[in-house]
A = this chain, B = another copy of it.
Amino acid sequence: MLGVKALFFDVFGTLVDFRSSVAREAKATLQQDGYDLDWEAFADAWRLEYQPAMEEIRAGRQPYCKLDVLHRQNLERILPRFGVRGLAADKLAGLNFAWHRLDAWPGSTQALVRLKTQYRIAPVSNGNISLMIDLARHNGFPWDVILGADIAQDFKPKAGVYFAACDALDLAPGQCMMVAAHSSDLAAAAANGLRTAHIARPDEHGPGKGEAAPSVPVDMATRNLSELADMLGC
């Protein structure tokens, strides 16, 4: 891709399968207390609180805080809906850390290793730095640096998050490519001058419930990260 020097990666949904992982972690934490929930539905409900919580900050109604804090608030909001009450403090904290133990979609790490041979690679996620470090250690993501929300003190798709990432690498937006499984992220990146690559994750929110193809114009549409590495000549 002519002139592209850096690849920015969305993480939740694009690199890691949060739904299965959160369901697994919730089950591991809550089943021993006698709960038997629809674990995937619990994961879906938790994730559904994600965008509204960030929107309060994007809109300026709340000051920036780390995604870990929002995840915790959202967790406490949804637990009663599933009949879970009075959870011990250490269990609550441990369950909130489910997001630090998400498994990568198969092949993601190997593709990142290939892509790193020719491009600077960084997560540009709404997750906080410590969360990104834990996911990198858990999955072996070989990042050059961790960029994203904490650096910009705001959340995607606000323009400042993309610009802060470009600026950290001394690159113009046109020298950076956003890689994501979400058309909304890529539309915002493109509107701010970045190149874009879509990764199909047709099962992100359950079988057949994910973007099999982009719904907006992108520079590249790929089936997976390995195909992206092929197309970028890595």
Give A contacts to B, CB under 8 Å: 66, 68, 120, 128-130, 132-133, 136-137, 143-146, 150-151, 168-170
- Kindly report which residue of chain B lies nearest to residue A143, judged by CB atoms: B145
- Among all A-B residue pairs, the 4 with the closest Cβ atoms: A129-B168, A145-B146, A130-B170, A133-B144
Q: Which residues of B contact A151 (CB under 8 A)?
A: 151
How many copies of this chain sit in the oligomeric assembly? 2
Cα–Cα distance between A91 and B129 once the two chains are bound (Å) = 37
Task: Report whether B144 and A168 are in contact in the complex, using a CB–CB cutoff of 8 Å.
Answer: no
Cα–Cα distance between A85 and B125 once the two chains are bound (Å) = 46
Task: Report whether B130 and A136 are in contact in the complex, using a CB–CB cutoff of 8 Å.
Answer: no
Q: Which residues of B contact A146 (CB under 8 A)?
A: 145-146
Question: What are 7 of the A-B contact pairs (CB < 8 Å)?
Answer: A120-B133, A128-B168, A129-B145, A145-B146, A146-B146, A150-B168, A151-B151
Given A136-B144, A145-B146, A146-B145, check contact A168 B130 (CB 8 Å).
yes
CB distance from A5 to the nearest CB of B (A): 10
Task: Report whether B150 and A144 are in contact in the complex, using a CB–CB cutoff of 8 Å.
Answer: no
Cα–Cα distance between A144 and B133 once the two chains are bound (Å) = 6
Cα–Cα distance between A219 and B144 once the two chains are bound (Å) = 30
Cα–Cα distance between A128 and B169 once the two chains are bound (Å) = 9
Cα–Cα distance between A145 and B144 once the two chains are bound (Å) = 8
Cα–Cα distance between A130 and B170 once the two chains are bound (Å) = 7
